[in-house]
Every structure is written in C-alpha cells, then in structure tokens.
C-alpha cells in the first residue's frame, strides 16, 4: 500500500515564525501536492510538484512556499506564519497518468498559529 | 477554471438504508475524471470511486455507485446498505485529463452521519 507520511499530526506555532511541514511518500510517485482544508471550503490546492525541483502554484499560494529536493519528500513552508494560516494541511501524492494515479493522502497536520 | 459544487453540507441516513449525495461541476473540458473521496473522523482521506468522463457506464464499487450525467454535469454518489463505518465527510473532486500532474478540484464536502 502507498504510504504518505506527514511529520506532525498537531503543531502549534507563533505568529511570525517560519514553519516547515514535511511530507514523505514511499511509492516513487512523481507528483506531490499540498492542500489546506477548512470547514465549508473543502480542500484547496496550495502548491504541487510534478518532479524534483519543479513546483507550480495552486489556487492559494500566497504566504507559502515549497521545496522538493528529493523525489520522496515535499515540504511546505510558511515564511512568516499568520493566524489566518491556522488550518488542516493535507499532503498527497500520485504517479503521472491521471486516471491510473489517484491521489493518496497523508493523515494531515492540524496547525494552529497563535 | 473548473468548479465543483456539493449542495448538501450535512446528511443523515439510518443503518441499512440507501443515501445519495449530490455533486455538480462546471467545466469546458471534454477529457476529465471525477472522484468521490471519503474522510472518516480524524482519519485519512481515501478514494471511494472514480469515473472516466468518456465512459457512459456508471462506476460501481461494492455498495458504492455513481450516477454520472455528463450533459447535466452531475455526479452523484449512492451508498446502499449504509453502515456505521460510512460515517464520514465525502468530497466530490474533478480532475482534468492529460497534463503532467493530476490536479484535483474539490467540492466543499458533505458530512454523512449513519445512525442506528
């Protein structure tokens, strides 16, 4: 089975801190994604990557950056955390091929910014 | 840009009954895929069922089936013989065909409660 592991289930940080959320997948997937999930808004795509060192903005990239130095790892960075970034963050991965590669999700990181 | 609409924020069904969750979408694409994902409370999001737009036959996975109406841009999920373990948040999602990355556009979700 595909395993997508997010480094923390719960995280509490302070306003202005630089925050790193880590995600690792073990199936050699090309594509990796970061979403945030908020009540009433569903999941919204922040950034995604289709190859090492490649990244593309999703629908809500403001205030975030990403890093993909190795194929299995995709990091989400909050450059200067703000309270409106308090949310559930979900990482996902898939292999190229669309239909053959549905996205597999991690357990999520519930991030609170105080 | 694609949009996905789930008009039922919450639904409830009794165990062993059948329930249908609604989803509509808007796109100008002809090649695309549709998905239903399930997110149980405090648990991982998992894929329930998927449908290729080019297929006329509705997808079925055990107790889960879809009613795909391409002209109406409707993609509803039917859960038969509901079980307590079906209690979850259900998300409808759209993916454009082709391209190098399988970006998903999600609806806002329907919270389903299965009761005794």
CA B62 to chain centre: 15
**What confidence score (pLDDT) does residue A101 get?**
54
Chain B CB contacts of A101 under 8 Å are 102
Chain-chain contact of A31 with B101 (C-beta, under 8 angstroms): yes
Q: pLDDT tens digit string along A33-61?
A: 999 999 989 999 999 998 898 899 999 99
The region of weakest confidence among A64-78, B68-82, B102-116 is B102-116
The residue-averaged pLDDT of A65-75 equals: 96
Question: What is the per-residue pLDDT for B101?
Answer: 61
Contact A31, A95 (CB under 8 A): yes
Facing A105 at nearest CB: one of B45, B105, B107: B45
Contact A96/B108, CB-based, under 8 Å?
Answer: no
Which of A92, A94, A93, A90 has its CA nearest to residue A9? A90
- Does B13 or B97 have the greater pLDDT score? B13
Segment A5-19 mean pLDDT = 95
For residues B81-111, one letter each, b for 16 or more C-beta atoms within 10 angstroms of the residue's C-beta and e for the rest, the string is: ebeeebbbbbbbbbbbeeeebbbbbbbbbbb
B5 — contact with chain A (CB < 8 Å)?
A: no
Q: Do B9 and A101 touch (CB under 8 A)?
A: no
Give residue B99's pLDDT. 62
Q: Where on the phi/psi map is residue B99: left (φ > 0), alpha (ψ -120 to 50), or beta?
A: left
Which residues on chain A are in Cβ contact (under 8 Å) with B110? none
A10-14, A28-32, B25-29, B101-105: segment of lowest average pLDDT: B101-105
Q: What Cα–Cα distance (Å) separates residue A108 from each residue in A86, A99, B80?
A: 13, 23, 29
- Return the higher-pLDDT residue of A22 and A2: A22
pLDDT of A78: 97
């Amino acid at each position: 089975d595909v395993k997508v592991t997010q480094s923390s289930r719960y995280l509490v940080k302070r306003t202005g801190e630089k925050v790193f959320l880590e995600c690792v997948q073990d199936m050699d997937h090309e594509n990796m994604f970061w979403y945030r999930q908020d009540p009433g808004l569903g999941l919204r795509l922040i950034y995604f990557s289709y190859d090492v060192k490649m990244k593309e903005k999703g629908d809500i990239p403001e205030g975030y950056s990403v890093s993909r130095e190795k194929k299995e790892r995709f990091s989400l960075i909050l450059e200067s955390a703000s309270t409106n970034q308090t949310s559930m963050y979900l990482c996902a991965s898939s292999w190229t091929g669309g239909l053959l590669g549905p996205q597999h999700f991690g357990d999520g990181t519930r991030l609170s910014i105080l | 840009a694609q949009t996905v609409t789930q008009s039922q924020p919450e639904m409830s069904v009794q165990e062993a009954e059948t329930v249908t969750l609604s989803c509509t979408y808007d796109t100008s694409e002809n090649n695309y895929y549709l998905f239903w994902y399930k997110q149980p409370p405090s648990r991982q999001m998992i894929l329930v069922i998927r449908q290729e737009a080019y297929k006329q036959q509705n997808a079925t996975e055990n107790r889960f089936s879809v009613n795909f109406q391409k002209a109406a841009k409707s993609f509803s999920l039917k859960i038969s013989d509901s079980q307590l373990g079906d209690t979850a948040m259900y998300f409808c999602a759209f993916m454009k065909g082709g391209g190098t990355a399988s970006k998903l556009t999600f609806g806002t979700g329907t919270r389903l409660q299965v009761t005794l």
